[in-house]
Structure 1
Amino acid sequence: MSEDIGFLEIAELGARYRDGRLTPIDVVRHALARIDCLEPSLNAFANPMAEMALADAEKRTSELASGLDLGPLHGIPVAIKDLIDVEGVPTGFGTRAREPQMATRDAELVGRLRAAGAIILGKTNLLEYAYGVAHPDIGQTNNPHNTGRTSGGSSGGSAAAVAGGIVPLAIGTDTGGSIRIPASYCGIVGLKPSFRLVSLDGVFPLSWSLDHAGPLARNVADAMIGLAAIADIDSAPQRDIAGLRIGLIDRHFGSHEITPGVREALDAALALLKARGAELVPISIVGLERVNTELVTVLHPEASVIHRDLLRQNPLGYAPVTRAQLEDGFKTTAADYLLAMRYRETFRASVEATFAQADVLASPSVPFVAPRQDPRIEDGEEGEMLSSGFANVSGHPSISIPAGMSEGLPVGLQLTGPLGRDAALLAMAGTIERAVGAYRRPKS
C-alpha cells in the first residue's frame, strides 16, 4: 500500500472510502505502520492507542458499508494532545510530577469528534503541562523536515503527526502560540480559534484566561473540517484575492528578530498576493508593545495556582525549568495581575478597531525557522511569542499557514481575523493559501 495514503487530505480519503478504494481499516493500519517507521526519531506519540483505534476503524468501516455516513470525518484518524482526556486512556501531561491519570470520560471536543465519525488514533507528546520545556524523561518532539530540529512547543507532537503523514488532522492547545508555532515550524496549518469558541471541558488548563484548543492540518480546508466538528460555527463565502485588504502589523514585520531567510520567504509571499490584486495595508495596534509582558503577567500566576497543590506534593517530579516558572508565578502581585486583565479589555478593542482598515491582519508566524530546541518563555520580547501571543491576549482567531521555505525548513505566515468570525478568517486563509502555495511534504 502506497505511503502516499498518509498524505491524502480529508476529502480525498472520504472519496476513496465511499467508492471502495480504501477503508478506515486500511488507513488506520497505514497510520500505525507509519508511527512504527517514524518513532522514536520523531517522538511524536505518547500513546498510539493501536488496539482501540483498530477497533474503531472496524466499526467505522462497517458503518459506511451499511450506509451510515456521519460526514467528512467519518473514518478519519485524528491525534489528540496528551493533556486532553480520551475515555479509557491515561492522560500523561508530558510530566513526571504525577502518574498518568486514567480518563473516565472524553473531553467535550473528543466526544464531538467521535460523534462526527472520527477515529482517535493516539495521544501526542507535548511540553510539560504545555508550559515549561520538554520533560527530560520524555524529550522533545522532533521536526519531520529535519529531526535535528524541534517541531515546536507545546503542541509539537500533534504538528509532527500531521506534517509527517501519520494523520491528516490533530488537536492541540494554544496559550501563547502553541498551535501556530509548531504549525509554522512543521509547514502545516494551525488554527487558534476565537476565545471560548471551542470547549475546554476535559482539557487540563495552563491558563484559564488564555487557553484555546484548535485543529492542526495540512491545509486550510481540513482545518475547517476539524473546527466544524469541535465547535459551532457559521459558514462564510470564499473570498477573491483581488481587493482583499491584508493588514501588515508594523511591529511584527519590523522586528529585528526576523532572520533574512524568513523575511525573504514572507516578502515573496506578500509580493505574490499584491500581484494578484490584494491590498497590503500597514497596521499599527495601540498597546501592542506591552502585549507579551502582560501575557506573562496573566499566564504565570494562573499556571502557578493551577499547579499549587501538586507543586507542594512533588516539586522534583517537574522538569527544573517548569518548576522554576511555577515558583516564579507566585511572585506576581495581585495588583499587577488585575492591571494586566484590565489591559486585555482595552487591547482587545484596539485589535478589533484595526478591521476598519483591513480584512485580515498578517504577521510572521515565528521570526525564525525551527531551532534545535524549543526556546524558553521569557518576559517581554521573547522572540518565539513576538507575533503569536497578541491573539491569545485579545482572543481573536489566528491561523498559521505555510509560506515558503528557508534553510530547508518551513516558514509560516500568521493571519488574524475579527473576533468571533472564525469561518471568515478560514475563508480568507484559504484564498491566501491558494495564492502563496501549500504544504510541502518532508523529503525524508
Structure 2
Amino acid sequence: MTKPTDVLHYRDIGALAALIRNRDVSSREVTQALLDRIAALDGDLHAYALVLADAARAQADAADREIAAGGWRGPLHGVPIAVKDLFDIEGVPTRAGMRLRSQPVATRDATVVRRLRDAGAVLIGKPELTEGAYSDHHPAVSPPRNPWHADYWPGISSSGSGVAVAAGMAYGSLASDTGGSIRWPSAANGLTGLKPTWGRVSRHGAAELAASLDHVGTMARSAIDAGILLGAIAGADPDDPTASLMPVPDDTAGAGVAGWRIGVDAAWNRDGVDAGTRAVLADALATFAALGAGIVDVRFPDVAQAVADWVPQCAVEAAVAHRDRYPRMQADYGAVLAAVIEAGKALSGTDYQAILLRRAAFRGRVDRVLSAVDVLLTPVQPFAPLTLAQIRTLGEQPDLIAGLQRYTCPFNMSGHPTLTLPGGFTDAGMPVGLQLVAPRWREDALVRAGAAFQARTPWHRRHPER
C-alpha cells in the first residue's frame, strides 16, 4: 500500500494540500522531508543560496496548529515554496546573485513574499541566480547544476529555482523574467513557468534588473500549480504604483479548450528551428486538436528589431537600477554585469527614445495578432537543450544568442503573458519546452490551456532520477 509520505517531494501542490488539510501528513513532516532532501542533494546541485531551515520548521508548525484548529487558508497552507534570492524576506540578506561586500538585511518582506505568508506557505529557502538576474553567475558563485544531467545548462537567471523545483527540493518557486529568466530554466529543467502580464504582480521588494522588462512570476511542476502560486501573489499593491488595478481571475477555474483558437505562425515556428523541436511542436498541435481546439494560421510581426532593441533597453534600465552602487562598488561586480551597465550609461537619449517608440509600435502589433486567438503556440528556443560546453562559448556564437532570445525577449518587450511547459524529451533524455502566449491579463487562459495539455500528456510527470 502506498503511504502519503512515499515520493512526497514530487507531489503536486493540490494533492499535497489535500493531505495536509486532512492531516494525513503534517506540514512539519513535509518540510522536514524537503530539508533532508536539500541536505542530501544540494551539495552537488547548488540550487540554494540560502536554506531557511529553522524558520521553515517554525512556519510548518504554525501551519499545523492553524489547520488542526480549523483555520485552513487554502492550497498553499503548509506547503514549502522557494523564493528566488532577489525578493526581500524580512531579516534575511537579498543577494540577487551578487557578492557585494555590504549585504544589508531586508527590513520587510517583498509584497509577493508577504502574500505567500498570508496564504500560509512555508518559505523553505532562497534559490541562487545569475548576478543581478542578468546572464552570468558571479565568479564567486558555484552555478546550479541541471538535475537531469550535469553536462547541460540549467537556464538563467532563475537557475536555482529551476533546479530546486525539478529536483524535488521545493514544490514551486517565486521567480522573475526579464528576457527569458522563467522560460529558459523551466524548459531546461522540465518545469512549467508562468510569466504574467507586466503589471499583474507587484515588484515591490524585488531587486531590479530592468524595471519595465522585469516580470514577477512562478515556476512549478504543472500549469495548475503555477496558477495556484500566481493567484496568491497577483493583484494591485499600494507600494507599487505600476501594479495593475485589473481584477485577478481564478487562474485554476475552467476546463478544456474545445472550440478554442490556437494560433500558429508556421514560418516563425519552422525557419531556423531544429527537427526535434519542430516534432515536439507538431505533437503539441495534434494534442490540442484532439482536445477540440482549432488551429489558426497567424502572421506574427517580425521580431528581429525587438530582439535587437532588448539589449540596450535592458542596459539602460540596469544602469539606473545600479546607480547607487555602480561605479562606487565596481570592484565587487562581475565582468558581464559591469559591461551591460557601462553600455547602458553610454547610450544616447535620442537613441533610447527611438527604442521606446519602436517598442510601443511592436506592442501594438502583438496585441493585434493575439486579439484573433485564445493562445499562441511557439517554441521556447529553436534548438535542442544546450550543453554547458555550448554555453561557455556563447559569446563567440551570435547565432546561438539570437536563437535563445528569439521567442522570449519579444514578450518582455511587449509585456504579454506566457506559459512554458514541457512538450517532450530528446533522445538524450533532456526536456524540451513549449511556449503559450495569451492576450494581456489572460493568465487564466494560459493555465487552462496548459492544464488541458498536461491532462493528455505525461511530460510534466517525469522527474530526474535522484
TM range (shorter): over 0.9
The match for 2:185 is 182
1:354 corresponds to 2:363: no
Give distance in 1, aligned partners of 2:386 and 2:304.
25
1:213 corresponds to 2:216: yes
CA RMSD of aligned residues (A): 2.0
Deviates more, 1:149-158 or 1:337-346: 337-346
**Residue 290 of structure 1: how far off its partner (Å):** 1.4
The match for 1:370 is 385
Give distance in 2, aligned partners of 1:161 and 1:227.
18
**Residue 21 of structure 1: how far off its partner (Å):** 1.6
Unaligned runs of 5+ in 2: 236-247
Equivalent positions of 1:391-430 (< 5 A) are 391-406=411-426, 407-430=428-451
1:432 corresponds to 2:453: yes
1:311 corresponds to 2:326: yes
Q: Deviations over 1:285-315 (max 9, x none)?
A: 2342311112122111110222234221222
1:36 corresponds to 2:58: no
Equivalent positions of 1:26-65 (< 5 A) are 26-65=29-68
If the length of structure 1 is used for normalisation, what is the TM-score?
A: 0.95
Give distance in 2, aligned partners of 1:156 and 1:391.
20
Give distance in 1, aligned partners of 2:323 and 2:135.
15
Give distance in 1, aligned partners of 2:368 and 2:271.
22
**Residue 347 of structure 1: how far off its partner (Å):** 1.4
The match for 2:134 is 131
The match for 2:264 is 248
The match for 1:169 is 172
Q: Per the alignment, in what secondary structure is the counterpart of residue 425 of structure 2? A: strand
Give distance in 2, aligned partners of 1:328 and 1:441.
41
Give distance in 1, aligned partners of 2:142 and 2:66.
39
Aligned partners of 1:293 and 1:379 also within 8 Å: no
**Residue 170 of structure 1: how far off its partner (Å):** 0.5
Q: 1:52 to 1:431 in 2, by over 3 A?
A: same
Equivalent positions of 1:9-408 (< 5 A) are 9-232=12-235, 233-235=248-250, 238-250=254-266, 252-256=268-272, 258-373=273-388, 374=391, 382-406=402-426, 407-408=428-429
Q: Deviations over 1:223-246 (max 9, x none)?
A: 111000001311365353333221
Deviates more, 1:422-431 or 1:368-377: 368-377
Aligned partners of 2:371 and 2:439 also within 8 Å: no
Q: Per the alignment, in what secondary structure is the counterpart of residue 264 of structure 2? A: strand
Aligned partners of 2:268 and 2:300 also within 8 Å: no
Q: Per the alignment, in what secondary structure is the counterpart of residue 295 of structure 1? A: helix
Q: Deviations over 1:62-114 (max 9, x none)?
A: 11111111111110111011011001111111112343321110000000000
Give distance in 1, aligned partners of 2:271 and 2:312.
22
The amino acid of 2:406's aligned partner reads L
Give distance in 2, aligned partners of 1:250 and 1:310.
46
Give distance in 2, aligned partners of 1:387 and 1:90.
34
Q: Deviations over 1:311-355 (max 9, x none)?
A: 212222112222222222222221121111122222121111113
Aligned partners of 2:274 and 2:382 also within 8 Å: yes
Aligned partners of 1:132 and 1:325 also within 8 Å: no
Give distance in 1, aligned partners of 2:351 and 2:111.
33
Give distance in 2, aligned partners of 1:83 and 1:240.
35
Q: Deviations over 1:195-238 (max 9, x none)?
A: 11100000010001111111101001111110000013113653
Q: Per the alignment, in what secondary structure is the counterpart of residue 340 of structure 2? A: helix
1:443 corresponds to 2:465: yes
Aligned partners of 1:298 and 1:337 also within 8 Å: yes
Give the number of equivalent residue pairs. Answer: 443
Identity within the alignment, %: 36
Give distance in 1, aligned partners of 2:257 and 2:448.
11
Q: Per the alignment, in what secondary structure is the counterpart of residue 15 of structure 1? A: helix
Aligned partners of 1:44 and 1:156 also within 8 Å: yes
Aligned partners of 2:270 and 2:278 also within 8 Å: no
Unaligned runs of 5+ in 1: none
Give distance in 1, aligned partners of 2:157 and 2:324.
23
**Residue 268 of structure 1: how far off its partner (Å):** 2.2
Q: 1:416 to 1:306 in 2, by over 3 A?
A: same
Aligned partners of 1:402 and 1:410 also within 8 Å: yes
Give distance in 1, aligned partners of 2:35 and 2:297.
47
**Residue 276 of structure 1: how far off its partner (Å):** 4.0
Aligned partners of 2:94 and 2:103 also within 8 Å: yes
Aligned partners of 1:300 and 1:328 also within 8 Å: yes
If the length of structure 2 is used for normalisation, what is the TM-score?
A: 0.90
Q: Deviations over 1:366-394 (max 9, x none)?
A: 22343233576898962212101111111
Q: Per the alignment, in what secondary structure is the counterpart of residue 47 of structure 1? A: strand
Aligned partners of 2:303 and 2:406 also within 8 Å: no
Q: Deviations over 1:98-153 (max 9, x none)?
A: 43321110000000000011111100100001013011211221111112222110
**Residue 251 of structure 1: how far off its partner (Å):** 5.5
